[in-house]
Amino acid sequence: MPKKYQRHIKGMPKKYQRHIKGMPQTYQRQTKIMYQREHFQLKETIVTILADRAEWIDIAKAEINASRLVIENYISAHPFFKATLESYAPDENAPLLIQRMIRAGNTFGIGPMSAVAGTIAEAAVMKMKEAGAVFALVDNGGDMAIYNTGSEPTVVGVYAGTGGVQNTGFLIEPADAILGICTSSGTVGPSVSFGIADAAIIFSKNVSLGDAAATALGNALKESGAANIEKALLVVSGIDGIDGAVLIQGGDTGFIGKVPRLVKANVDYDIITKG
């Protein structure tokens, strides 16, 4: 792997380890400010929504419903869109939401449904942003879109089952752009994965692309070990739009690209978005 990419195998690198006393739980910023928070389910879509005002949550729920309707209508007319695990032919007449999913999946030679959760999350946060939200977060089963133009960073916890990474989070600094933090796992949760990663995490400002990339990265890890983690990370290295990636399996962790600083965090299993 090229030296320009950050990586560390065999445990978490010391430069990412930093204990902060009283670290808030997942999604809470490093202040005493508490956000409006709601667990919301619409059919198969199960999300956690956070915002600085309750009205933004209602906007997010409406957009999730609208996005699902677009996807469901397209699947009704094109059943192969949902069924395929391989690239899907571009459709210039499809709704923009559908086109984003197709482009994301095709980047990695996998089906467009690999990007469905991230696409829905990003659409909801975009609507919250357009409505005036200062802080907006939608976690769609581990595929997250976050927008934060406040003055404080956000800590996003990492849950990788019983693997070597415990009570750790990423420190996400405020920014003007929506950031996607997308995760796939072959050992945790109900996601379809053909690999053995405890957590394959992607950072991207294109949340659809990040979701598909996380799936592809998780699929690429077939065997444990540092060398295999390094090889699997090549799947997403050099891809335009991918800021960084983290791959966790057992006691081994690999990094490439630009990854937010890791900090100690109180990762509360009870508030993780899950069915």
Domain 14-268 sits in CATH at: 3.10.520.10
| H or E element that contains 122 | helix 116-131
Q: What average pLDDT does the chain have?
A: 85
Element (H, E) at 255: strand 252-257
Please name the residues in contact with 161: beta carbons below 8 A apart, sequence gap of 6 or more: 185, 187, 188, 198, 199
Instruction: Rank 10-19, 102-111, 178-187 by mean pLDDT and report only the highest.
Output: 102-111
The pLDDT of residue 28 is 43
Q: What is the rounded distance in angstroms from the CA atom of residue 18 to the CA atom of residue 249? A: 21
Average pLDDT of the segment spanning 234-258: 94
- Listed residue (211, 215, 197) closest to 252, CA to CA: 197
Token duo for residue 51 = 């915002």
Q: What per-residue confidence (pLDDT) applies to 211?
A: 97
What percent of the chain has pLDDT above 90?
67
Residue 190 burial by Cβ neighbours in a 10 Å radius (0-12, 13-18, 19+)? exposed
Q: What is the pLDDT of residue 251?
A: 82
**DSSP for 48-108, written as a single string:** EEEESSHHHHHHHHHHHHHHHHHHHHHHHH-THHHH-SS-----TTS-HHHHHHHHHHHHT
pLDDT for the residue 33 = 60
Q: Which of 150, 160, 134, 139 is nearest to 246 (CA)?
A: 160
pLDDT bracket for residue 34 (50, 70, 90): confident
Residue 179 has pLDDT above 70, yes or no: yes
123 has a pLDDT exceeding 80: yes
**Can you give the pLDDT at residue 159?**
66
Please give the average per-residue pLDDT across 73-92, as a whole number: 97
Provide the residue ranges of all domains of the chain, joining segments of one domain with +: 14-268
User: How confident is the model over 107-135, as a mean pLDDT?
Assistant: 97
Closest Cα partner for 154 from 13, 48, 265, 39?
265
